């Protein structure tokens, strides 16, 4: 039984790594309340690969913000790794984002002035890594995603697929509980998209928990489960 307070629930291998209960999100537009998420219930286990799909205006982006701790629900609970993050303030949510969630964005979000290693290092600056530790880990991750020969290249010297590989490596630096990918192949050609999909599948086989928001049926079909959202409510295929 989950209690509605700020104390962590007992977290073990049998507990969902992500659990939303009766989660709602509303926005006030003047005197009008716009209900975007309605009583969302979602459980994702450690090591799962889940695709989230839904049409524009369905609440998909808002759900993504909730999962990524970029916003707080109006009501309901969101347990991540046994902690009710729905109750945390902005500073606490920032710590959760930095330590428990790896983000992969459609637009890559790399820093143009930094090379591959430096871009991967960025999250580690906020986590207490030494300069030597962060550089070593960044090189290891860059090599893992196939960029071992591109360590000194800046984003402008990389293809779109290579830039997304940098973003994937960056998402892995803190060994996050979940990896959250927002349309990870949306800006890529079909060949590069296929390569990125293979990397995601490899991460899944390594036991990583993947949550991919996508319009691409091909990506969704590679997932172990598809969750659809319509009018702010969850449906499972």
Report the CATH number that the domain containing residue 108 is assigned in CATH: 3.40.50.300
> How far is the C-alpha of 203 from the C-alpha of 207, rounded, in Å?
7
pLDDT at 13: 56
Task: Please report, rounded to a whole number, the percentage of residues in the chain having pLDDT higher than 90.
Answer: 81
> How far is the C-alpha of 119 from the C-alpha of 51, rounded, in Å?
27
Task: Assess whether pLDDT exceeds 70 at residue 128.
Answer: yes
Q: Identify whether 28 is part of a domain.
A: yes
pLDDT at 235: 85
pLDDT at 75: 96
Q: Identify whether 59 is part of a domain.
A: yes
Q: Identify whether 50 is part of a domain.
A: yes
Task: Assess whether pLDDT exceeds 60 at residue 11.
Answer: no
Q: Identify whether 142 is part of a domain.
A: yes
**Tell me: the pLDDT tens digits for 27-54?**
988 888 899 999 999 999 999 999 999 9
Q: Identify whether 38 is part of a domain.
A: yes
Q: Identify whether 4 is part of a domain.
A: no
pTM for the model: 0.89
Q: What is the DSSP letter of 128?
A: T
Q: Identify whether 119 is part of a domain.
A: yes
* Complete DSSP assignment for 146-207: T-TT-TT--GGGS-HHHHHHHHHHHHTTT--SEEEEESTTTTS-HHHHHHHHHHHHHHHHTT
> How far is the C-alpha of 116 from the C-alpha of 178, rounded, in Å?
23
- What is the maximal distance between C-alpha atoms in the chain? 57
> How far is the C-alpha of 99 from the C-alpha of 127, rounded, in Å?
8
Contacts of the segment 69-72: beta carbons below 8 A, 24+ positions apart = 69/93, 69/96, 69/97, 69/101, 70/97, 71/25
Domain range for residue 83?
18-236
- How many whole angstroms from its chain centre is CA 69? 10
> Residue-wise over 162-179: b if at least 16 C-beta within 10 A, else e?
bbbbbbbbbbbbbebbbb
Task: Please report, rounded to a whole number, the percentage of residues in the chain having pLDDT higher than 70.
Answer: 94
> How far is the C-alpha of 140 from the C-alpha of 147, rounded, in Å?
10
Q: Which of 79, 66, 73 is nearest to 20 (CA)?
A: 79
Average pLDDT, the chain: 91
Q: Identify whether 6 is part of a domain.
A: no
Counting the structural domains of the chain, the total is 1
Task: Assess whether pLDDT exceeds 60 at residue 3.
Answer: no
Residues in a beta bridge with 80: 18, 83
């Amino acid at each position: 039984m989950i209690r509605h307070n700020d104390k962590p629930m007992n977290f073990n291998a049998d507990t969902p790594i992500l659990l939303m209960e009766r989660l709602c999100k509303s926005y006030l537009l003047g005197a009008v309340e716009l209900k975007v998420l309605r009583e969302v219930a979602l459980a994702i286990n450690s090591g799962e690969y889940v695709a989230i799909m839904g049409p524009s205006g369905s609440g998909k982006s808002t759900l993504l913000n909730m999962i990524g701790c970029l916003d707080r629900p109006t009501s309901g609970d969101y347990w991540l790794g046994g902690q009710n993050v729905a109750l945390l303030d902005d500073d606490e949510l920032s710590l959760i984002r930095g330590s428990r969630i790896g983000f992969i964005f459609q637009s890559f979000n790399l820093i143009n002035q930094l090379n591959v290693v430096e871009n991967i290092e960025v999250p580690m600056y906020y986590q207490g890594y030494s300069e030597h530790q962060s550089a070593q880990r960044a090189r290891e991750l860059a090599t893992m995603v196939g960029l071992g020969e591109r360590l000194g290249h800046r984003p402008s010297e990389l293809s779109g697929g290579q830039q997304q590989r940098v973003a994937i490596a960056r998402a892995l630096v803190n060994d996050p509980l979940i990896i959250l990918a927002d349309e990870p192949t949306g800006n890529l050609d079909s060949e590069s998209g296929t390569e990125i999909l293979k990397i995601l599948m490899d991460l899944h086989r390594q036991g990583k928990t993947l949550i991919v928001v996508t319009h691409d049926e091909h990506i969704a079909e590679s997932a172990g489960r598809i969750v659809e959202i319509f009018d702010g409510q969850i449906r499972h295929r």
